[in-house]
Chains A and B, each alone.
Chain A
Amino acid sequence: MNMDYLPELLKGFGTTLELTLVSLFTGLMLAILFTIVLSLKVRALSWLVKLQILLFTGTPLLIQIFLIYYGPAQFDVIKNSVLWPWLSQPWFCAMLALALNSAAYSTLLFKGAIDAVPNSDWEACMALGMTHRQALLRVILPHAARRALPAYGNEVILVMKGSSLASTITLMDLMGYAARLNAQTYDTLTVFTMAGLIYLTMTGVLTLLIRLMEHKVLAFSRS
Protein backbone atom coordinates (compact mmCIF):
# COMPACT_ATOMS: atom_id res chain seq x y z
CA MET A 1 0.00 0.00 0.00
CA ASN A 2 1.27 3.41 -0.91
CA MET A 3 1.89 5.39 2.26
CA ASP A 4 2.38 8.69 0.41
CA TYR A 5 -1.32 9.37 0.59
CA LEU A 6 -1.47 9.30 4.36
CA PRO A 7 -0.12 12.82 5.15
CA GLU A 8 -2.41 14.30 2.51
CA LEU A 9 -5.44 12.54 3.98
CA LEU A 10 -4.52 13.48 7.53
CA LYS A 11 -4.65 17.15 6.52
CA GLY A 12 -8.40 16.74 6.34
CA PHE A 13 -8.61 14.83 9.59
CA GLY A 14 -8.51 18.01 11.68
CA THR A 15 -11.42 19.56 9.77
CA THR A 16 -13.51 16.42 10.20
CA LEU A 17 -12.84 16.28 13.93
CA GLU A 18 -13.48 19.99 14.44
CA LEU A 19 -16.68 19.91 12.41
CA THR A 20 -17.94 16.87 14.30
CA LEU A 21 -17.22 18.27 17.75
CA VAL A 22 -18.60 21.76 17.11
CA SER A 23 -21.78 20.39 15.46
CA LEU A 24 -22.30 17.90 18.25
CA PHE A 25 -21.94 20.56 20.92
CA THR A 26 -24.26 23.01 19.14
CA GLY A 27 -26.72 20.20 18.43
CA LEU A 28 -26.68 19.07 22.04
CA MET A 29 -27.34 22.58 23.35
CA LEU A 30 -30.22 23.01 20.90
CA ALA A 31 -31.59 19.56 21.78
CA ILE A 32 -31.59 20.36 25.49
CA LEU A 33 -33.36 23.63 24.76
CA PHE A 34 -35.92 21.89 22.52
CA THR A 35 -36.51 19.16 25.09
CA ILE A 36 -37.21 21.79 27.75
CA VAL A 37 -39.62 23.54 25.40
CA LEU A 38 -41.42 20.26 24.67
CA SER A 39 -41.50 19.23 28.32
CA LEU A 40 -42.90 22.56 29.48
CA LYS A 41 -45.51 22.41 26.68
CA VAL A 42 -45.19 26.05 25.65
CA ARG A 43 -47.80 26.01 22.91
CA ALA A 44 -46.42 28.08 20.02
CA LEU A 45 -42.82 27.17 20.74
CA SER A 46 -43.36 23.44 21.00
CA TRP A 47 -45.28 23.59 17.73
CA LEU A 48 -42.19 25.15 16.14
CA VAL A 49 -39.90 22.55 17.67
CA LYS A 50 -42.14 19.78 16.35
CA LEU A 51 -42.01 21.32 12.88
CA GLN A 52 -38.22 21.52 13.07
CA ILE A 53 -38.05 17.86 14.09
CA LEU A 54 -40.40 16.84 11.28
CA LEU A 55 -38.42 18.74 8.64
CA PHE A 56 -34.98 17.63 9.78
CA THR A 57 -35.77 13.98 10.45
CA GLY A 58 -37.90 13.59 7.32
CA THR A 59 -35.43 14.81 4.71
CA PRO A 60 -31.92 13.68 3.73
CA LEU A 61 -28.99 15.39 5.43
CA LEU A 62 -27.39 16.03 2.05
CA ILE A 63 -30.38 18.14 0.95
CA GLN A 64 -30.29 20.04 4.23
CA ILE A 65 -26.63 20.87 3.65
CA PHE A 66 -27.31 21.97 0.06
CA LEU A 67 -30.34 23.98 1.11
CA ILE A 68 -28.44 25.86 3.81
CA TYR A 69 -25.32 26.43 1.68
CA TYR A 70 -26.80 27.21 -1.75
CA GLY A 71 -30.29 28.30 -0.70
CA PRO A 72 -29.74 31.75 0.87
CA ALA A 73 -28.00 33.09 -2.27
CA GLN A 74 -31.42 33.25 -3.92
CA PHE A 75 -32.52 36.13 -1.70
CA ASP A 76 -30.90 39.55 -1.97
CA VAL A 77 -32.16 40.42 1.50
CA ILE A 78 -29.95 37.74 3.01
CA LYS A 79 -27.06 38.55 0.71
CA ASN A 80 -27.04 42.14 1.96
CA SER A 81 -27.55 41.27 5.61
CA VAL A 82 -24.96 40.79 8.34
CA LEU A 83 -25.54 37.03 8.18
CA TRP A 84 -24.03 36.68 4.72
CA PRO A 85 -20.35 36.42 5.75
CA TRP A 86 -21.38 33.41 7.83
CA LEU A 87 -23.82 31.84 5.40
CA SER A 88 -21.40 32.04 2.48
CA GLN A 89 -18.87 29.93 4.36
CA PRO A 90 -19.04 26.19 3.66
CA TRP A 91 -17.70 25.33 7.11
CA PHE A 92 -20.39 27.27 8.93
CA CYS A 93 -23.17 25.95 6.69
CA ALA A 94 -22.10 22.33 7.11
CA MET A 95 -21.86 22.87 10.87
CA LEU A 96 -25.31 24.46 10.99
CA ALA A 97 -26.92 21.67 8.97
CA LEU A 98 -25.27 18.95 11.04
CA ALA A 99 -26.15 20.68 14.31
CA LEU A 100 -29.81 21.18 13.37
CA ASN A 101 -30.05 17.61 12.11
CA SER A 102 -28.45 16.21 15.24
CA ALA A 103 -30.62 18.45 17.43
CA ALA A 104 -33.78 17.08 15.84
CA TYR A 105 -32.83 13.44 16.40
CA SER A 106 -31.42 14.06 19.89
CA THR A 107 -34.57 15.90 20.98
CA LEU A 108 -36.69 12.89 20.00
CA LEU A 109 -34.32 10.72 21.96
CA PHE A 110 -34.24 12.88 25.10
CA LYS A 111 -37.99 13.44 25.11
CA GLY A 112 -38.56 9.71 24.70
CA ALA A 113 -36.22 8.97 27.60
CA ILE A 114 -37.94 11.45 29.91
CA ASP A 115 -41.39 10.19 28.95
CA ALA A 116 -40.27 6.63 29.59
CA VAL A 117 -39.61 7.31 33.28
CA PRO A 118 -42.79 6.00 34.92
CA ASN A 119 -45.07 8.49 36.62
CA SER A 120 -44.90 6.43 39.80
CA ASP A 121 -41.27 7.53 40.21
CA TRP A 122 -42.49 11.10 40.58
CA GLU A 123 -45.16 10.03 43.01
CA ALA A 124 -42.67 8.05 45.08
CA CYS A 125 -40.37 11.06 45.30
CA MET A 126 -43.23 13.26 46.40
CA ALA A 127 -44.30 10.69 48.97
CA LEU A 128 -40.76 10.72 50.36
CA GLY A 129 -41.02 14.47 50.76
CA MET A 130 -38.54 15.42 48.03
CA THR A 131 -38.91 18.78 46.38
CA HIS A 132 -39.65 18.97 42.66
CA ARG A 133 -36.09 20.01 41.97
CA GLN A 134 -34.58 17.21 44.01
CA ALA A 135 -36.82 14.64 42.36
CA LEU A 136 -35.90 15.85 38.90
CA LEU A 137 -32.15 16.10 39.48
CA ARG A 138 -31.63 13.06 41.68
CA VAL A 139 -34.14 10.54 40.37
CA ILE A 140 -35.79 11.39 37.09
CA LEU A 141 -32.84 12.73 35.09
CA PRO A 142 -30.39 9.98 36.07
CA HIS A 143 -32.93 7.40 35.01
CA ALA A 144 -33.64 9.22 31.78
CA ALA A 145 -29.89 9.49 31.15
CA ARG A 146 -29.58 5.76 31.52
CA ARG A 147 -31.99 5.30 28.66
CA ALA A 148 -30.73 8.18 26.52
CA LEU A 149 -26.96 7.78 26.78
CA PRO A 150 -26.42 4.58 24.78
CA ALA A 151 -28.63 5.94 22.00
CA TYR A 152 -26.87 9.31 22.13
CA GLY A 153 -23.63 7.43 21.56
CA ASN A 154 -25.08 6.25 18.25
CA GLU A 155 -25.91 9.85 17.44
CA VAL A 156 -22.28 10.89 18.01
CA ILE A 157 -21.12 8.29 15.47
CA LEU A 158 -23.83 9.35 13.02
CA VAL A 159 -22.75 13.00 13.19
CA MET A 160 -19.14 11.98 12.64
CA LYS A 161 -20.14 9.96 9.59
CA GLY A 162 -22.47 12.74 8.43
CA SER A 163 -19.65 15.28 8.56
CA SER A 164 -18.18 13.54 5.50
CA LEU A 165 -21.04 15.04 3.47
CA ALA A 166 -19.47 18.47 3.99
CA SER A 167 -17.02 17.50 1.27
CA THR A 168 -19.84 17.97 -1.25
CA ILE A 169 -19.94 21.71 -0.55
CA THR A 170 -16.22 22.18 -1.23
CA LEU A 171 -15.09 21.77 2.37
CA MET A 172 -11.77 19.93 2.46
CA ASP A 173 -12.31 17.40 5.20
CA LEU A 174 -11.02 13.83 5.24
CA MET A 175 -13.54 12.78 2.57
CA GLY A 176 -12.75 15.92 0.57
CA TYR A 177 -9.05 15.08 0.43
CA ALA A 178 -9.85 11.45 -0.37
CA ALA A 179 -12.06 12.47 -3.30
CA ARG A 180 -9.40 14.88 -4.59
CA LEU A 181 -6.61 12.31 -4.30
CA ASN A 182 -8.82 9.83 -6.14
CA ALA A 183 -9.40 12.30 -8.95
CA GLN A 184 -5.67 13.11 -9.17
CA THR A 185 -4.25 9.60 -9.03
CA TYR A 186 -7.07 7.22 -10.09
CA ASP A 187 -5.67 4.93 -7.42
CA THR A 188 -9.21 4.51 -6.15
CA LEU A 189 -8.96 1.35 -4.11
CA THR A 190 -5.88 2.42 -2.15
CA VAL A 191 -7.04 5.97 -1.47
CA PHE A 192 -10.53 5.03 -0.32
CA THR A 193 -9.29 2.07 1.69
CA MET A 194 -6.94 4.36 3.60
CA ALA A 195 -9.62 6.97 4.13
CA GLY A 196 -11.93 4.18 5.29
CA LEU A 197 -9.34 2.96 7.77
CA ILE A 198 -9.01 6.44 9.24
CA TYR A 199 -12.79 6.72 9.57
CA LEU A 200 -12.98 3.26 11.14
CA THR A 201 -10.32 4.22 13.65
CA MET A 202 -12.31 7.33 14.52
CA THR A 203 -15.49 5.30 14.93
CA GLY A 204 -13.62 2.81 17.10
CA VAL A 205 -12.07 5.46 19.33
CA LEU A 206 -15.38 7.32 19.67
CA THR A 207 -17.23 4.11 20.55
CA LEU A 208 -14.64 3.37 23.20
CA LEU A 209 -14.87 6.88 24.65
CA ILE A 210 -18.67 6.66 24.78
CA ARG A 211 -18.49 3.29 26.53
CA LEU A 212 -16.13 4.77 29.11
CA MET A 213 -18.40 7.74 29.65
CA GLU A 214 -21.46 5.52 29.99
CA HIS A 215 -19.56 3.44 32.52
CA LYS A 216 -18.76 6.54 34.56
CA VAL A 217 -22.10 8.30 34.31
CA LEU A 218 -24.18 5.20 34.86
CA ALA A 219 -22.12 3.95 37.81
CA PHE A 220 -25.15 4.46 40.05
CA SER A 221 -27.25 1.89 38.18
CA ARG A 222 -24.86 -0.99 38.84
CA SER A 223 -25.15 -2.89 42.06
Chain B
Amino acid sequence: MGLTTLFAEATVMTLGLALSSLVLGLLMALAFSLAELSRCKPLALATSTVVAILRGLPEILVVFFIYFGSTHALFLLTDEFIEISPFVAGTIALSLIYSAYASQTLRGAFMAVPKGQTEAAVALGISRFHCFFRIILPQTWRHALPGLGNQWLVLLKDTALVALIGVHDLLLQARMTAASTYEPFTWYGIAALIYLAITLVSQNILERMKSRSNRHLTSSHSVTEGPVEKTVSPGEATA
Protein backbone atom coordinates (compact mmCIF):
# COMPACT_ATOMS: atom_id res chain seq x y z
CA MET B 1 0.00 0.00 0.00
CA GLY B 2 1.36 3.43 0.98
CA LEU B 3 4.71 2.11 2.04
CA THR B 4 5.31 0.40 -1.30
CA THR B 5 4.76 3.68 -3.11
CA LEU B 6 7.04 5.51 -0.68
CA PHE B 7 9.81 2.99 -1.12
CA ALA B 8 9.37 3.04 -4.91
CA GLU B 9 9.66 6.83 -4.91
CA ALA B 10 12.74 6.64 -2.69
CA THR B 11 14.31 4.10 -5.05
CA VAL B 12 13.66 6.41 -7.99
CA MET B 13 15.30 9.23 -6.01
CA THR B 14 18.39 7.10 -5.31
CA LEU B 15 18.63 6.05 -8.95
CA GLY B 16 18.10 9.60 -10.21
CA LEU B 17 20.79 10.92 -7.91
CA ALA B 18 23.21 8.15 -8.91
CA LEU B 19 22.59 8.63 -12.63
CA SER B 20 22.87 12.41 -12.58
CA SER B 21 26.09 12.09 -10.56
CA LEU B 22 27.34 9.57 -13.11
CA VAL B 23 26.73 11.92 -16.06
CA LEU B 24 28.24 14.94 -14.32
CA GLY B 25 31.05 12.79 -12.90
CA LEU B 26 31.99 11.36 -16.29
CA LEU B 27 32.19 14.83 -17.82
CA MET B 28 34.37 16.04 -14.96
CA ALA B 29 36.50 12.89 -15.13
CA LEU B 30 37.12 13.53 -18.82
CA ALA B 31 38.15 17.09 -18.08
CA PHE B 32 40.37 16.01 -15.16
CA SER B 33 42.10 13.28 -17.14
CA LEU B 34 42.77 15.57 -20.09
CA ALA B 35 44.07 18.26 -17.73
CA GLU B 36 46.38 15.74 -16.09
CA LEU B 37 47.71 14.62 -19.46
CA SER B 38 48.05 18.15 -20.80
CA ARG B 39 51.46 19.58 -21.64
CA CYS B 40 50.80 22.58 -19.38
CA LYS B 41 52.64 21.41 -16.25
CA PRO B 42 51.03 23.73 -13.66
CA LEU B 43 47.56 22.65 -14.82
CA ALA B 44 48.51 18.95 -14.69
CA LEU B 45 49.99 19.36 -11.22
CA ALA B 46 46.99 21.28 -9.88
CA THR B 47 44.58 18.65 -11.19
CA SER B 48 46.64 15.80 -9.72
CA THR B 49 46.56 17.57 -6.36
CA VAL B 50 42.79 18.04 -6.44
CA VAL B 51 42.30 14.40 -7.40
CA ALA B 52 44.66 13.20 -4.64
CA ILE B 53 42.81 15.33 -2.06
CA LEU B 54 39.41 14.03 -3.16
CA ARG B 55 40.65 10.45 -2.99
CA GLY B 56 42.16 10.94 0.43
CA LEU B 57 39.11 12.40 2.14
CA PRO B 58 36.26 10.33 3.58
CA GLU B 59 33.20 10.54 1.33
CA ILE B 60 30.99 11.76 4.17
CA LEU B 61 33.32 14.71 4.75
CA VAL B 62 33.15 15.70 1.07
CA VAL B 63 29.35 15.54 1.14
CA PHE B 64 29.15 17.63 4.33
CA PHE B 65 31.77 20.04 3.05
CA ILE B 66 29.84 20.71 -0.14
CA TYR B 67 26.43 20.93 1.53
CA PHE B 68 27.21 22.92 4.67
CA GLY B 69 30.30 24.59 3.25
CA SER B 70 28.55 26.01 0.19
CA THR B 71 25.99 27.78 2.36
CA HIS B 72 28.79 29.14 4.52
CA ALA B 73 30.81 30.25 1.50
CA LEU B 74 27.79 31.93 -0.10
CA PHE B 75 27.10 33.67 3.21
CA LEU B 76 30.65 35.01 3.38
CA LEU B 77 30.45 36.17 -0.22
CA THR B 78 26.99 37.70 -0.34
CA ASP B 79 26.08 38.22 3.33
CA GLU B 80 22.85 36.39 2.73
CA PHE B 81 21.71 32.92 3.68
CA ILE B 82 21.25 31.06 0.44
CA GLU B 83 20.61 27.39 0.91
CA ILE B 84 21.36 25.10 -1.97
CA SER B 85 19.14 22.07 -2.21
CA PRO B 86 20.45 18.83 -0.67
CA PHE B 87 19.90 17.09 -4.01
CA VAL B 88 22.14 19.52 -5.88
CA ALA B 89 24.79 19.46 -3.16
CA GLY B 90 24.65 15.65 -3.07
CA THR B 91 24.99 15.39 -6.84
CA ILE B 92 27.97 17.73 -6.89
CA ALA B 93 29.71 15.92 -4.03
CA LEU B 94 29.11 12.45 -5.45
CA SER B 95 30.15 13.41 -8.96
CA LEU B 96 33.34 14.99 -7.59
CA ILE B 97 34.17 11.76 -5.75
CA TYR B 98 33.32 9.68 -8.81
CA SER B 99 35.38 11.85 -11.13
CA ALA B 100 38.43 11.67 -8.86
CA TYR B 101 38.54 7.90 -9.28
CA ALA B 102 37.23 7.73 -12.85
CA SER B 103 39.77 10.27 -14.12
CA GLN B 104 42.56 7.87 -13.15
CA THR B 105 40.91 5.05 -15.09
CA LEU B 106 40.40 7.31 -18.10
CA ARG B 107 43.96 8.56 -17.93
CA GLY B 108 45.21 4.98 -18.01
CA ALA B 109 42.88 4.17 -20.87
CA PHE B 110 44.05 7.18 -22.90
CA MET B 111 47.62 6.07 -22.45
CA ALA B 112 46.69 2.54 -23.54
CA VAL B 113 45.65 3.81 -26.98
CA PRO B 114 48.80 3.58 -29.15
CA LYS B 115 50.36 6.84 -30.25
CA GLY B 116 50.36 5.60 -33.82
CA GLN B 117 46.62 6.13 -33.94
CA THR B 118 46.98 9.90 -33.49
CA GLU B 119 49.92 10.00 -35.89
CA ALA B 120 47.98 8.10 -38.53
CA ALA B 121 45.04 10.47 -38.12
CA VAL B 122 47.33 13.48 -38.49
CA ALA B 123 48.94 11.92 -41.54
CA LEU B 124 45.49 11.49 -43.07
CA GLY B 125 44.75 15.15 -42.48
CA ILE B 126 42.03 14.59 -39.89
CA SER B 127 41.52 17.57 -37.59
CA ARG B 128 42.57 17.31 -33.95
CA PHE B 129 39.00 17.68 -32.74
CA HIS B 130 37.78 14.96 -35.07
CA CYS B 131 40.69 12.71 -34.23
CA PHE B 132 39.98 12.93 -30.51
CA PHE B 133 36.24 12.31 -30.67
CA ARG B 134 36.08 9.82 -33.55
CA ILE B 135 39.32 7.87 -33.17
CA ILE B 136 40.85 8.11 -29.69
CA LEU B 137 37.76 8.31 -27.48
CA PRO B 138 35.99 5.21 -28.88
CA GLN B 139 39.14 3.14 -28.33
CA THR B 140 39.54 4.52 -24.83
CA TRP B 141 36.06 3.34 -23.97
CA ARG B 142 36.96 -0.32 -24.25
CA HIS B 143 39.89 0.03 -21.86
CA ALA B 144 38.03 2.27 -19.43
CA LEU B 145 34.74 0.40 -19.20
CA PRO B 146 35.69 -2.23 -16.57
CA GLY B 147 37.13 0.43 -14.26
CA LEU B 148 34.31 2.91 -14.80
CA GLY B 149 31.80 0.12 -14.18
CA ASN B 150 33.35 -0.76 -10.84
CA GLN B 151 33.32 2.88 -9.84
CA TRP B 152 29.67 3.13 -10.82
CA LEU B 153 28.94 0.35 -8.31
CA VAL B 154 30.87 2.30 -5.67
CA LEU B 155 28.98 5.48 -6.56
CA LEU B 156 25.68 3.65 -6.24
CA LYS B 157 26.56 2.64 -2.69
CA ASP B 158 27.88 6.10 -1.84
CA THR B 159 24.49 7.63 -2.68
CA ALA B 160 23.31 6.35 0.72
CA LEU B 161 25.39 9.16 2.26
CA VAL B 162 23.11 11.88 0.97
CA ALA B 163 20.39 10.68 3.35
CA LEU B 164 22.51 12.34 6.04
CA ILE B 165 22.00 15.77 4.45
CA GLY B 166 18.28 15.23 4.03
CA VAL B 167 17.78 13.93 0.50
CA HIS B 168 14.72 11.73 0.58
CA ASP B 169 16.41 8.60 -0.74
CA LEU B 170 16.15 4.92 0.07
CA LEU B 171 18.11 5.11 3.31
CA LEU B 172 16.18 8.09 4.66
CA GLN B 173 12.89 6.38 3.80
CA ALA B 174 14.06 3.23 5.63
CA ARG B 175 15.11 5.34 8.58
CA MET B 176 11.75 7.09 8.81
CA THR B 177 9.77 3.89 8.43
CA ALA B 178 11.98 2.14 10.98
CA ALA B 179 11.40 4.95 13.47
CA SER B 180 7.63 4.93 13.05
CA THR B 181 7.14 1.15 13.12
CA TYR B 182 9.86 0.21 15.65
CA GLU B 183 11.02 -2.42 13.17
CA PRO B 184 14.51 -1.22 12.25
CA PHE B 185 15.83 -4.62 11.15
CA THR B 186 13.00 -5.22 8.68
CA TRP B 187 13.14 -1.82 7.01
CA TYR B 188 16.89 -1.36 6.85
CA GLY B 189 17.01 -4.93 5.57
CA ILE B 190 14.51 -4.14 2.82
CA ALA B 191 16.45 -1.03 1.82
CA ALA B 192 19.65 -3.09 1.74
CA LEU B 193 18.00 -5.68 -0.49
CA ILE B 194 16.82 -2.97 -2.90
CA TYR B 195 20.40 -1.65 -3.11
CA LEU B 196 21.57 -5.21 -3.70
CA ALA B 197 19.04 -5.68 -6.50
CA ILE B 198 20.16 -2.45 -8.20
CA THR B 199 23.79 -3.57 -7.89
CA LEU B 200 23.06 -6.98 -9.40
CA VAL B 201 21.13 -5.49 -12.31
CA SER B 202 23.97 -2.99 -12.90
CA GLN B 203 26.51 -5.79 -12.89
CA ASN B 204 24.50 -7.68 -15.45
CA ILE B 205 24.20 -4.67 -17.75
CA LEU B 206 27.91 -3.87 -17.34
CA GLU B 207 28.85 -7.44 -18.23
CA ARG B 208 26.86 -7.12 -21.46
CA MET B 209 28.37 -3.74 -22.25
CA LYS B 210 31.83 -5.22 -21.72
CA SER B 211 31.31 -8.11 -24.07
CA ARG B 212 29.77 -5.70 -26.60
CA SER B 213 32.77 -3.39 -26.41
CA ASN B 214 35.05 -6.35 -27.04
CA ARG B 215 33.00 -7.93 -29.81
CA HIS B 216 35.57 -7.15 -32.47
CA LEU B 217 38.12 -9.33 -30.68
CA THR B 218 38.20 -13.02 -31.50
CA SER B 219 37.36 -14.26 -28.01
CA SER B 220 34.62 -12.02 -26.75
CA HIS B 221 35.15 -12.91 -23.08
CA SER B 222 38.84 -12.18 -22.93
CA VAL B 223 38.43 -9.21 -20.63
CA THR B 224 36.61 -10.42 -17.57
CA GLU B 225 37.01 -8.97 -14.13
CA GLY B 226 36.03 -10.07 -10.67
CA PRO B 227 32.38 -9.46 -9.80
CA VAL B 228 32.84 -6.50 -7.48
CA GLU B 229 35.93 -4.49 -6.88
CA LYS B 230 35.94 -1.34 -4.85
CA THR B 231 38.62 0.48 -6.73
CA VAL B 232 40.93 -0.11 -9.59
CA SER B 233 44.29 1.42 -9.01
CA PRO B 234 45.50 3.47 -11.96
CA GLY B 235 48.25 1.01 -12.76
CA GLU B 236 45.90 -1.94 -12.97
CA ALA B 237 43.42 -0.21 -15.23
CA THR B 238 45.83 -0.28 -18.09
CA ALA B 239 47.32 -3.71 -17.44
The answer to whether B188 touches A108 (Cβ under 8 A) is no
Q: Which residues of A contact B200 (CB under 8 A)?
A: 58
Q: How far is the CB of B103 from chain A (nearest CB, A)?
A: 16
The answer to whether B61 touches A70 (Cβ under 8 A) is no
A112-B72 in contact given A175-B60, A200-B53 (Cβ < 8 Å): no
Q: Which residues of A contact B64 (CB under 8 A)?
A: 178-179, 182, 192
> In the complex, how many residues of chain A place their beta carbon closer than 8 angstroms to a beta carbon of chain B?
51
The answer to whether B61 touches A74 (Cβ under 8 A) is no
Cα separation A178 to B57 with both chains bound (whole Å): 13
Q: Which residues of A contact B57 (CB under 8 A)?
A: 161, 196, 199-200, 203
Q: How far is the CB of B52 from chain A (nearest CB, A)?
A: 8
| A interface: dominant SS | helix
Partner of A158, one of B174, B183, B191, B230: B230
Cα separation A151 to B72 with both chains bound (whole Å): 38
Nearest residue (CB) in A for B228 is A57
The answer to whether B233 touches A154 (Cβ under 8 A) is yes
The answer to whether A108 touches B229 (Cβ under 8 A) is yes
Cα separation A188 to B199 with both chains bound (whole Å): 34
Cα separation A195 to B200 with both chains bound (whole Å): 35
Cα separation A203 to B228 with both chains bound (whole Å): 23
Scan residues 134-156 of chain B and give those whose CB is less than 8 A from a CB of chain A.
none
- B132 located at the interface, meaning its Cβ lies under 8 Å from any Cβ of chain A in the complex: no
Cα separation A75 to B185 with both chains bound (whole Å): 9
Partner of B65, one of A72, A112, A196: A196
- A54 located at the interface, meaning its Cβ lies under 8 Å from any Cβ of chain B in the complex: yes
- A3 located at the interface, meaning its Cβ lies under 8 Å from any Cβ of chain B in the complex: no
The answer to whether A158 touches B185 (Cβ under 8 A) is no
B110-152 CB mask vs A (1 if < 8 Å, else 0) is 0000000000000000000000000000000000000000000
Scan residues 33-47 of chain B and give those whose CB is less than 8 A from a CB of chain A.
none
B144-173 CB mask vs A (1 if < 8 Å, else 0) is 000000000000011111011000000100
Q: How far is the CB of A24 from chain B (nearest CB, A)?
A: 14
The answer to whether B182 touches A188 (Cβ under 8 A) is no
- B176 located at the interface, meaning its Cβ lies under 8 Å from any Cβ of chain A in the complex: no
Scan residues 76-117 of chain A and give those whose CB is less than 8 A from a CB of chain B.
105, 108-109, 112
Q: Which residues of A contact B229 (CB under 8 A)?
A: 105, 108-109
The answer to whether B188 touches A63 (Cβ under 8 A) is yes
The answer to whether B196 touches A55 (Cβ under 8 A) is yes
Q: How far is the CB of A163 from chain B (nearest CB, A)?
A: 8
Q: Which residues of B contact A109 (CB under 8 A)?
A: 229
Partner of A108, one of B59, B73, B227: B227
Residue picked from A63, A165, A204, most chain B C-beta under 10 Å: A63
- B186 located at the interface, meaning its Cβ lies under 8 Å from any Cβ of chain A in the complex: yes
Q: Which residues of A contact B163 (CB under 8 A)?
A: 62
The answer to whether B233 touches A151 (Cβ under 8 A) is yes
Q: Which residues of B contact A66 (CB under 8 A)?
A: 171, 174-175, 184, 188
Scan residues 37-62 of chain A and give those whose CB is less than 8 A from a CB of chain B.
54-55, 57-62
The answer to whether B160 touches A63 (Cβ under 8 A) is yes
Scan residues 189-204 of chain B and give those whose CB is less than 8 A from a CB of chain A.
189, 191-193, 195-196, 199-200
The answer to whether B233 touches A67 (Cβ under 8 A) is no
Cα separation A188 to B188 with both chains bound (whole Å): 31
Known: A59-B196, A187-B72. 11 other contacts (CB 8 A): A58-B196, A60-B161, A60-B171, A62-B160, A62-B163, A63-B160, A150-B233, A150-B235, A154-B231, A192-B69, A199-B61
A-B contacts, 20 of them at CB < 8 A, read: A55-B192, A57-B228, A58-B195, A59-B157, A59-B195, A62-B160, A62-B164, A63-B160, A63-B191, A66-B188, A71-B184, A71-B185, A74-B182, A109-B229, A154-B230, A154-B231, A155-B230, A175-B61, A189-B72, A200-B57
Interface of B with A (CB < 8 Å)?
53, 55-61, 64-65, 68-69, 71-73, 76, 157-161, 163-164, 171, 174-175, 178, 182-186, 188-189, 191-193, 195-196, 199-200, 226-231, 233, 235-236
Q: Report the 3 A-B pairs with minimum CB-CB distance, sorted nearest first.
A: A60-B160, A164-B58, A203-B56
